[in-house]
Chain A
Amino acid sequence: MQPGLYHILFLSAALFFIGVYGFLTRRNLITMLMSIELILNSVNLNFIAFNKYLWPNQMDGLFFTLFIIAIAAAEAAVAIAIIINLYRSHNSIDVENAEDLKY
């Protein structure tokens, strides 16, 4: 059986909410970062699926996905740099220990 558009949309929605669930429940910043990657990849899947099933002779969705991957890589680098600095000052990467950053 060939997978249809709805299968892929269902997959990406599941991926998105798994990411959201992970982001909201995990306390470890690295895990939260991984959850964000899941969310971003669900978006990528959406772009690719719509491109392939609705406008197969265009490439717009593909390019968008490439951009998002690039930006996600940059964002991961920045986030990890922040996490390393946080670890240096707080000796922990637990998000609850970072609450005092609001002051």
Chain B
Amino acid sequence: MPNVTAIALIPLLPLAGFLLLGLFGRKYLKNSSGIIGTVLLLASTILALYTAYEYFFVYGKVAGVYEKFVPLQLTWLQFSPGVSIDMGLIIDPISVMMLVVVTFISLMVHIYSLGYLKGEERFPTYYSFLGLFTFSMLGLVLASNIFQIYIFWELVGVSSFLLIGYYYDKPSAVAACKKAFIVTRFADLGFLIGILILSFSGGTLDFSTLIERLTSPETNEFKAAAASTFLGASALTWGAALVFVGGAGKSAMFPLHIWLPDAMEGPTPVSALIHAATMVVAGVFLVARLFPIFSVAVPGVLEIIGWVGAISAIVAAIIACTQTDIKRVLAYSTMSQIGYMMFALGVSKYGGESGLGYTASMFHLFTHAMFKALLFLGAGAVIHYVHSNDMKDMGGLRKLLPITHITFLIACLAIAGVPPFAGFFSKEEILLAAYNNNMAIYWIALITSGITAFYMFRLYFNIFWSKELPSYTKATKGKEGGFVMMLPLVLLAIGAAAAGFIPFGEFVSSDGTVLHSHFDLTFSAAPVILGLAGIFTALWLYKKQNDKPAKLATSLGGIYKMAYNKFYIDEIYLFITKNVLFNLIGRPAAWFDKNIVDGLMNLIGNITQSISEGIKKVQSGKVQQYAIYFLGGVIVLAVLFIYIWK
């Protein structure tokens, strides 16, 4: 049986770190804050690995199926008998898998930050925010009901906001954190409405009960939800679609992705943790958590999810080819890979062999966390050395940063889908799932995987090859980051190289049964060849500094310019908000607020004030005046009693 204390401690230890460092860090723990945060997270990671071992190998499997356990269920807010908001822990394959991913990546980032942010003024604040984020993310994956997941969902949003805005004296970082918060909040509005619709029609907030009631057409809840319609779609469809809007906002899906590239203003380890490996996959996790509802009850919404994922994957990949800020390239690559996970869920079905897409999506989430965190931390090591984000300032770094170079190369090979690295296996399964269910998405995914290989190696060659001896080498005789920065790189590189060999389908599948993955050499040929083609194109263009890329850019002309400007999506948003929303809705609303609402309040205030001004004169301080009032009152009462109320 699940060990409740161990599981509850996994999120509570980072919370303890947050409270400790947040309250006392700046005064008393200035130098030890990093160590404290890291040690607490190490304990958390060990507990998570222990839980995973116990779940997958000891008690989790009942009659060949991985069961869902709810070891802890507390009633938090009781509104009336039967209606309450609970707090609970859920233990099932995806939550256990996410526990391992989140704690491991977070631990790596904690260790790495010891070196990367050394000497920062707000070091304790940084570690307390990291603790808050880790707590919220772990709470999110362990949430046993849909309202609890919403609470932690907002908490990760807040901690993401705090960490993006860590360099708060930089105007661009401030703008970026506000943008991230507002865009995701906007999407969360959809999520909240979706939660309300789903829980109202399901009559419960609890995941298991909700799924049970909304997936079998015989129940009354399902009939009622399917019967009530709004704008031509059933309540169930609306609820599921709105929940997906929330997920799309958090996971930076097209067209709600605009916050993610700007979020790179935060410290690089934060980007590795939040904007690559953990928080941005929360949307995928949410869809996976409610997957039976999407798959069985509203397949139409699932189809939309598939297309949104596919479009995000290819659009982001094209934009990534033109960016020069290395972190932005990685940001778009993240968006593209999350697109993969999304459409893998979109093309999946529930149960058995047809649930391959679900397994593939979770598998890709797992491997992506490894190699994308590695890419970001590697990029962080480069930025730490060069003190610039722009790839024009880099080149020829392979001799100066040998460990970073090797680990970065492994990560690039993994993301490009070259066997036998991790990305190959997960991407193969996704492509297979798409091939079996939706040919159009399969072709988009195939092309995207070629582009992915191209832009990743464009990045790689631009950083580590290109120029022979960069000009700054002699001026700054810096060393590659110390042991604390290299250790996470090496550990993650091992993960990125070997994670693919985990027989993932045996542990995680849509209905808990074992799913055997089998590889078909003829099927794998196409993506691998495309990936290699992408790599060699990048090699030909960027291995040595030359004018081929510039010529190519001019010959592509408009397309290049559009991709370079991110297809003007930011501008479209600005146009809509500034010209349409502000003028048509904002200004009338402001007028109404200033004149009608404020006017009403001012009127009430003025009336009260003038009345009190009038009454104030009665209290004069003259005792004899009071005596006259008193006498007058007594006389009036006497008249009343004697002549009127006899």
With both beta carbons as reference points, the residue of chain B lying nearest to A26 in the complex is identified as B624
B623-A98 in contact (CB<8A): yes
A102-B620 in contact (CB<8A): yes
Interface residues of A in 3-32 (CB under 8 A from B): 20, 23-24, 32
Name B619's contact: one of A32, A96, A102 (CB within 8 Å): A102
The residues of A that contact B624 with a CB separation of less than 8 Å are: 23-24, 95
B620-A99 in contact (CB<8A): yes
* B82 lies within 8 A of chain A by Cβ: no
Counting residue pairs across A and B whose Cβ atoms lie within 8 Å, the total is 22
* B63 lies within 8 A of chain A by Cβ: no
B621-A99 in contact (CB<8A): yes
Name B621's contact: one of A20, A23, A101 (CB within 8 Å): A101
The residues of B that contact A101 with a CB separation of less than 8 Å are: 621
A95 smallest CB distance to B (angstroms): 6
One digit per residue, 1 when the CB lies within 8 angstroms of any chain A CB and 0 when it does not, for chain B 601-636 equals: 000000000000000000111111001100100000
Q: How large is the interface on A (under 10, 10 to 19, 20 to 34, 35 or more residues)?
A: 10 to 19
With both beta carbons as reference points, the residue of chain B lying nearest to A98 in the complex is identified as B623
B634 smallest CB distance to A (angstroms): 10
The residues of A that contact B621 with a CB separation of less than 8 Å are: 98-103
With both beta carbons as reference points, the residue of chain B lying nearest to A20 in the complex is identified as B631
Name B627's contact: one of A24, A100, A103 (CB within 8 Å): A24
Interface residues of A in 52-103 (CB under 8 A from B): 95-96, 98-103
Considering the chains assembled together, what is the distance between the CA atoms of A103 and B616 in angstroms?
12
A99 smallest CB distance to B (angstroms): 4
Considering the chains assembled together, what is the distance between the CA atoms of A82 and B214 in angstroms?
80
The residues of B that contact A24 with a CB separation of less than 8 Å are: 624, 627-628
With both beta carbons as reference points, the residue of chain A lying nearest to B623 in the complex is identified as A95
Considering the chains assembled together, what is the distance between the CA atoms of A23 and B628 in angstroms?
10
The residues of B that contact A102 with a CB separation of less than 8 Å are: 619-621
User: Do most interface residues of chain A lie in helix, strand or loop, or is the interface mixed?
Assistant: helix
B622-A23 in contact (CB<8A): no
With both beta carbons as reference points, the residue of chain A lying nearest to B628 in the complex is identified as A24
A82 smallest CB distance to B (angstroms): 11
Interface residues of B in 309-333 (CB under 8 A from A): none
Considering the chains assembled together, what is the distance between the CA atoms of A102 and B626 in angstroms?
12
Considering the chains assembled together, what is the distance between the CA atoms of A32 and B624 in angstroms?
10
The residues of B that contact A32 with a CB separation of less than 8 Å are: 623
Considering the chains assembled together, what is the distance between the CA atoms of A23 and B621 in angstroms?
16
B622-A96 in contact (CB<8A): yes
Considering the chains assembled together, what is the distance between the CA atoms of A100 and B620 in angstroms?
9
Considering the chains assembled together, what is the distance between the CA atoms of A95 and B620 in angstroms?
12
Interface residues of A in 21-57 (CB under 8 A from B): 23-24, 32
With both beta carbons as reference points, the residue of chain B lying nearest to A102 in the complex is identified as B621
Considering the chains assembled together, what is the distance between the CA atoms of A95 and B623 in angstroms?
7
A16 smallest CB distance to B (angstroms): 11
A26 smallest CB distance to B (angstroms): 9
With both beta carbons as reference points, the residue of chain B lying nearest to A101 in the complex is identified as B621
A20 smallest CB distance to B (angstroms): 7
Considering the chains assembled together, what is the distance between the CA atoms of A99 and B631 in angstroms?
20
B627-A23 in contact (CB<8A): yes
A52 smallest CB distance to B (angstroms): 24
With both beta carbons as reference points, the residue of chain A lying nearest to B624 in the complex is identified as A24
A25 smallest CB distance to B (angstroms): 8
A64 smallest CB distance to B (angstroms): 19
Considering the chains assembled together, what is the distance between the CA atoms of A99 and B620 in angstroms?
7
The residues of A that contact B620 with a CB separation of less than 8 Å are: 99, 102
A42 smallest CB distance to B (angstroms): 14
A65 smallest CB distance to B (angstroms): 21
A59 smallest CB distance to B (angstroms): 27
B622-A99 in contact (CB<8A): yes
Considering the chains assembled together, what is the distance between the CA atoms of A101 and B631 in angstroms?
22
Considering the chains assembled together, what is the distance between the CA atoms of A96 and B621 in angstroms?
9
B256 smallest CB distance to A (angstroms): 61
Considering the chains assembled together, what is the distance between the CA atoms of A76 and B622 in angstroms?
20
Considering the chains assembled together, what is the distance between the CA atoms of A26 and B623 in angstroms?
11
Most chain A CB within a 10 A radius of its CB, from B620, B622, B624: B624
Most chain A CB within a 10 A radius of its CB, from B623, B627, B628: B623
Considering the chains assembled together, what is the distance between the CA atoms of A59 and B621 in angstroms?
42
B610 smallest CB distance to A (angstroms): 21
One digit per residue, 1 when the CB lies within 8 angstroms of any chain A CB and 0 when it does not, for chain B 65-109 equals: 000000000000000000000000000000000000000000000
The residues of A that contact B631 with a CB separation of less than 8 Å are: 20
B419 smallest CB distance to A (angstroms): 89
The residues of B that contact A23 with a CB separation of less than 8 Å are: 624, 627
B626 smallest CB distance to A (angstroms): 10
B304 smallest CB distance to A (angstroms): 71
B449 smallest CB distance to A (angstroms): 83
Considering the chains assembled together, what is the distance between the CA atoms of A20 and B624 in angstroms?
10
Considering the chains assembled together, what is the distance between the CA atoms of A72 and B501 in angstroms?
103
A87 smallest CB distance to B (angstroms): 16
The residues of B that contact A20 with a CB separation of less than 8 Å are: 631
One digit per residue, 1 when the CB lies within 8 angstroms of any chain A CB and 0 when it does not, for chain B 38-52 equals: 000000000000000
B618 smallest CB distance to A (angstroms): 11
B637 smallest CB distance to A (angstroms): 16
B297 smallest CB distance to A (angstroms): 72
With both beta carbons as reference points, the residue of chain A lying nearest to B622 in the complex is identified as A99
A24 smallest CB distance to B (angstroms): 5
Considering the chains assembled together, what is the distance between the CA atoms of A24 and B631 in angstroms?
10
Considering the chains assembled together, what is the distance between the CA atoms of A102 and B622 in angstroms?
9
Considering the chains assembled together, what is the distance between the CA atoms of A100 and B622 in angstroms?
9
Considering the chains assembled together, what is the distance between the CA atoms of A70 and B252 in angstroms?
88
The residues of B that contact A95 with a CB separation of less than 8 Å are: 622-624
B619 smallest CB distance to A (angstroms): 6
A1 smallest CB distance to B (angstroms): 30
With both beta carbons as reference points, the residue of chain B lying nearest to A103 in the complex is identified as B621
Considering the chains assembled together, what is the distance between the CA atoms of A32 and B626 in angstroms?
14
One digit per residue, 1 when the CB lies within 8 angstroms of any chain A CB and 0 when it does not, for chain B 392-425 equals: 0000000000000000000000000000000000
Q: Show 6 residue pairs from A and B whose CB-CB distance is below 8 angstroms, ordered by the A residue.
A: A24-B628, A95-B624, A99-B620, A99-B622, A101-B621, A102-B621
Interface residues of B (CB under 8 A from A): 619-624, 627-628, 631
**Could you list 16 further interchain pairs (A-B, Cβ under 8 angstroms) beyond the known A24-B624, A99-B622?**
A20-B631, A23-B624, A23-B627, A32-B623, A95-B622, A95-B623, A95-B624, A96-B622, A98-B621, A98-B623, A99-B620, A99-B621, A100-B621, A101-B621, A102-B619, A103-B621
